[in-house]
Amino acid sequence: MPKDPKNAALGAAAKKIAKPAIKKIKVPNPRVRRLDPNKKQIDATVTPSDGVTMKTGPELRKDAEDIHKAYEKQYGERASQGLTVATIQDKNGNLYYVMNRNTTSKDARDLADSLGYKRLMGPGTSTPDANHAERIALNIHDLRTQAIKDGKIGEEPYRSLPEPPMNISPSRKPCDDAATPPANAQNCRAETQKTNGLVNLVGWP
């Protein structure tokens, strides 16, 4: 069976990214959700496009926590240990979410869909050294950045990826936010800060 040309293109682009190593990504076409324009939910971290109302950091965090809880409700607390959901809103108001394990549940999918979120996933978005939900969001940003350098941003699936600047908020305390991070820390907060405002971790102090 011939390889999917999209996956082949992604694999070629991913090889150029040193850290993290991303080989491929399966990304569904996003769905734009226009929030209620009567609600004042502007978040100054991202400059919204005309006519687009942005969710605040606390709202993105609550959505991530609710999707996480929906998974836990279906499979139990033990099954959700180590799971993190991160919600994403890009400059155009598009809503996405990622989960840090190759898992999901009907309840989590249904809730995310009802909230207007589209899941970004694929085996190449997560590696052993970059598998936290916030890190996966950064991996996807890295892939989009590489596509721009390669002149492929107008092709699918690259053009369906979140457009920066974007806000992300995890369902748990941001990874490695500890007085003494583990030796294998992924430094998600520090890594987002290195993007110079293109990826912003919000909803957590």
| pLDDT reported for residue 91 | 94
pLDDT at 118 over 90: yes
Read off the pLDDT of residues 38-77 as tens digits, 9 standing for 90 and up: 433 333 344 455 567 899 999 999 999 999 999 998 877 7
CB 35 within 8 A of CB 53: yes
Question: How far, in Å, CA of 2 to CA of 93, rounded?
Answer: 36
Backbone angles phi, psi at 143, to 5 degrees: -65, -40
pTM of this prediction?
0.72
- E strands, the chain, in order: 85-89, 95-99, 118-119, 166-170, 199-201
Lowest mean pLDDT among 107-111, 126-130, 131-135, 160-164: 126-130
The residue-averaged pLDDT of 144-150 equals: 91
Domain boundaries, the chain: 5-201
Among 26-40, 44-58, 123-137, 143-157, top mean pLDDT goes to 143-157
| pLDDT reported for residue 151 | 93
pLDDT at 176 over 50: yes
Backbone angles phi, psi at 6, to 5 degrees: -65, -45
Backbone angles phi, psi at 111, to 5 degrees: -65, -45
Counting every residue, how long is the chain? Answer: 205
How many H-runs (helices) and E-runs (strands) does the chain carry?
5, 5
